[in-house]
Amino acid sequence: MMDVEFRFVRGHVEVFSPEGQFLFSADTLSEARMELTEDAA
């Protein structure tokens, strides 16, 4: 899994790169982690 930062914003999760670049958003933390796993495969 990538080294990312999860930020909880207004009821959803935003995912950022280590450099602070926005990558994507998800409804839940588990959904965000699943998305990262799919991208790494």
d(CA 32, CA 18): 16
Q: Would you state the pLDDT for residue 39?
A: 77
Residue 24 dihedral angles phi and psi, to the nearest 5°: -170, 170
Residue 1: per-residue pLDDT: 55
pLDDT at site 40: 76
Q: Judge whether 36 and 23 are in contact, CB under 8 Å.
A: no
Residue 22 has pLDDT above 60, yes or no: yes
CB atoms within 10 A of CB 16: 14
State pTM to two decimals. 0.86
